């Protein structure tokens, strides 16, 4: 019996040894099935940096589909060698145990201790070489965006080895933007090597690396190339000034659109009721906080939350406006000083309620993906999408208010009360109802302004205070109660502010604008577009 047990144990032991040996043989076979690729990776693990540089060139010339992944992993420090000799790619280098994958097959190998891995070291020269190599590999990618990125990355990085294949790529490339970038990259190489045709190719380009290359050529020893480079730089500088002017105009219009949104509701209530509503900024704040609250109710869906915030912000601010009008303003009609002080007190109360009920700290509203980024016009001019959407939103709100004022009964009654309240009453118009509806409409538009502002700045208790003074300046400058005047004044003041700020500073620019408005009002007390009617003339 003992002999049979001993024999059985011996057989099991031999079987285990055989299985282990077979597994080791299979593992070795998996590693050595691709000797050419293994040789390429072995060369990367050389002791000298020049040898590693030669290995990178060999990988680049190998046409292996895994070349880009290897080079990117080496650049990121994720290509490492395990103690058993295998090359692995670290998938996540946080913690003590790192998940890795086989560099040759891509198969996951589980987790390895960082002590069992040796990093393949590189220096700054190799990093630059790797970036250029990856860019060259990406030029053959079917993804257009990847080719565009790699072509831009090659500006100023083309050497003797890349010049010839780059010329062939330019002829084969179908995308115009990639072709233009590759042509510029090749032209920079030509300029650096004293070829005049490169300067002519770069003439008119606004890319910073092109300007650097032309500046170097302008300070070079060759007088012919230096003169041509100087002429090209003068032409580029003129184009840059034009683009800077367009950028200033765009930012001025976007700032002006914010002022229009902030002031247009105030223009309605001020024109109809003669009320100086110092709580108008806090109504904007309520609209901004409504946007933030909607994003808390719909986490992960900032776009849907923003769209729903438009009607929600309008309703919240409109209801708050009705409460203010019914609770305070109706008892102070005809007493502008008391109304100003009362609404100023309401603004302080609303600010403190927000600080107590929500937080005194600013809240961040997430910008939807379709509002993020910018529209690139050229290398020197890009238009941010969020400001573009705010500008368009302001114009839509303005057009909607114009339709309400021109095409609805409410608009007719509002215009009648604005021009002559007593005559409107005698014609059967209920001025009290018009006051309520007008204040609700103006307050709701302030809420819409807050929704738009939430995409440009942080939401906080003091958000409205930054715009209340500017809003009154827009209303007075444009003409009290005139919507066209509010639009023109808001956009004009926004552009003027943006033009003055670079050389005068933000504070001094506002002072200059204020002095300008004071002087303007001395000449035209009723603004750019004065209101018509007997009451207005009186």
Q: How many CB atoms lie within 10 A of CB 134?
A: 21
Q: How far apart are CA 449 and CA 455, in angstroms?
A: 10
Whether residue 206 is predicted with pLDDT greater than 80 in this model: the reply is yes
> Can you give the pTM of this predicted structure?
0.74
- H/E segment holding residue 201: helix 196-202
How high is the pLDDT of residue 531? 63
Give rounded-to-5 percent helix, strand, coil for the chain: 70, 5, 20
Evaluate the CA torsion angle 524, 527, 529, 533 in order and state its sign: negative
Please check the confidence at residue 163 and state whether its pLDDT lies above 70: yes
Report the alpha-carbon distance of residue 200 to residue 208 in Å, rounded: 17
CB atoms closer than 10 angstroms to residue 377: 13
Does pLDDT of 156 surpass 50? Answer: yes
Instruction: Decide if pLDDT at 334 tops 80.
Output: no
- As a whole number of angstroms, the distance between CA 144 and CA 362 comes to 40
Task: Report the relative pairing of strands 381-384 and 374-378 from DSSP bridges.
Answer: antiparallel
442, 321 contact by CB (below 8 A): yes
Return the half-sphere exposure (C-beta side, CA atoms, 13 A cut-off) of residue 424: 23
Q: Give 111's strand partners.
A: 99
SS (HEC) of 450-508:
HHHHCCCCCECCCCHHHCHHHHHHHHHHHCCCCHHHHHHHHHHHHHHHHHHHHHHCHHH
d(CA 255, CA 479): 20
Is the confidence at residue 116, as pLDDT, over 70?
yes
Mean pLDDT, rounded, of the chain: 83
The pLDDT of residue 287: 93
By mean pLDDT, which of 233-242, 459-468, 524-533 is the weakest? 524-533
The token pair that represents 420 in the structure block? 């002559």
Rounded mean pLDDT of 117-139? 83
State percent of the chain over pLDDT 90: 20
Do the Cβ atoms of 173 and 179 come closer than 8 Å? yes
Residue at token pair 């002559």 = 420
Q: Indicate the pairing of strand 97-102 with strand 79-82.
A: unpaired
Residue 63 confidence (pLDDT): 73
Residue-by-residue DSSP string for 112-179: EEGGGEEE----HHHHHHHHHHHHHHHTT-S-HHHHHHHHHHTTTT--HHHHHHHHHHHHH---HHHH
346-395 per-position pLDDT tens digit: 999 999 999 998 888 888 888 898 888 888 888 888 899 999 999 999 99
pLDDT tens-place string over residues 222-269: 888 899 999 999 999 999 999 999 999 999 998 899 889 888 888 888
Name the CA radius of gyration of the chain, rounded: 35
In three-state secondary structure terms, 284 is helix
Assign 119 a pLDDT band (cuts: 50, 70, 90): confident
**Which DSSP category does 329 fall into?**
G
What is the model's pLDDT at position 157?
Answer: 80
Q: What is the pLDDT of residue 346?
A: 92
């Amino acid at each position: 019996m003992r002999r049979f047990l001993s024999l059985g144990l011996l057989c099991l032991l031999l079987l285990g040894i055989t299985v282990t040996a077979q597994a080791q043989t299979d593992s070795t076979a998996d590693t050595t099935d691709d000797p050419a690729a293994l040789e390429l990776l072995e060369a990367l693990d050389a002791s000298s940096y020049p040898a590693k540089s030669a290995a990178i060139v060999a990988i680049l010339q190998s046409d292996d589909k895994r070349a880009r992944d290897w080079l990117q992993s080496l650049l990121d420090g994720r290509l490492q060698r395990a103690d058993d000799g295998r090359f692995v790619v670290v998938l996540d280098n946080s913690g003590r145990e790192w998940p890795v994958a086989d560099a040759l097959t891509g198969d996951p190998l589980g987790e390895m201790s960082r002590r069992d891995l040796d990093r393949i070291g590189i220096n700054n020269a190799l990093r630059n070489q790797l970036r250029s190599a990856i860019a060259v590999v990406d030029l053959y990618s079917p993804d257009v965006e990847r080719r565009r990125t790699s072509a831009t990355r090659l500006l100023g990085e083309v050497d003797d080895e890349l010049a010839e294949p780059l010329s062939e790529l330019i002829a084969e490339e179908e995308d115009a933007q990639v072709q233009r970038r590759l042509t510029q990259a090749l032209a920079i190489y030509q300029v650096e090597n004293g070829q005049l045709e490169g300067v002519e190719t770069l003439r008119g380009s606004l890319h910073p690396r092109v300007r650097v290359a032309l500046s170097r050529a302008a300070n070079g020893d060759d007088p012919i190339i230096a003169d041509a480079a100087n002429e090209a730089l003068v032409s580029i500088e003129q184009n840059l000034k034009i683009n800077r002017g367009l950028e200033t105009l765009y930012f001025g219009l976007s700032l002006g659109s914010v002022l229009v949104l902030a002031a247009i509701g105030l223009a309605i209530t001020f024109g109809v009721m003669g009320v100086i509503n110092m709580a108008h900024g806090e109504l904007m704040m309520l609209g901004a906080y409504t946007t933030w609250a909607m994003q808390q109710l719909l986490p992960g869906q900032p776009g849907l939350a923003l769209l729903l915030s438009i009607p929600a912000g309008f309703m919240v601010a409109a209801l708050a406006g009705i409460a203010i009008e019914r609770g305070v303003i109706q008892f102070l009609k005809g007493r502008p000083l008391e109304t100003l002080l009362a609404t100023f007190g309401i603004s302080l109360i609303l600010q403190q309620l927000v600080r107590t009920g929500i937080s005194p700290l600013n809240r961040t509203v997430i910008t939807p993906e379709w509002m993020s980024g910018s529209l690139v016009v050229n290398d020197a001019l890009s238009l941010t999408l969020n400001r573009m959407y705010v500008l368009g939103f302001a114009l839509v709100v303005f057009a909607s208010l114009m339709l309400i004022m021109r095409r609805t009964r409410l608009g007719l009654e509002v215009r009648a009360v604005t021009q002559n309240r007593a005559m409107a009453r005698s014609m059967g118009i209920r001025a009290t109802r018009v006051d309520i509806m007008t204040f609700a409409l103006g307050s709701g538009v302030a809420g819409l302004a807050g929704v738009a502002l939430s995409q440009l700045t942080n939401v906080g208790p003091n958000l409205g205070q930054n715009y209340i003074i500017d809003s009154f300046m827009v209303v007075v400058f444009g003409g009290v109660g005139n919507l066209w005047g509010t639009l023109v004044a808001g956009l004009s003041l926004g552009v003027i502010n943006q033009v003055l700020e670079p050389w005068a500073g933000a504070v001094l620019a506002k002072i200059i604008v204020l002095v300008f408005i004071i002087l303007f009002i001395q000449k035209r007390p009723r603004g750019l577009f004065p209101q018509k009617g007997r009451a207005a003339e009186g």
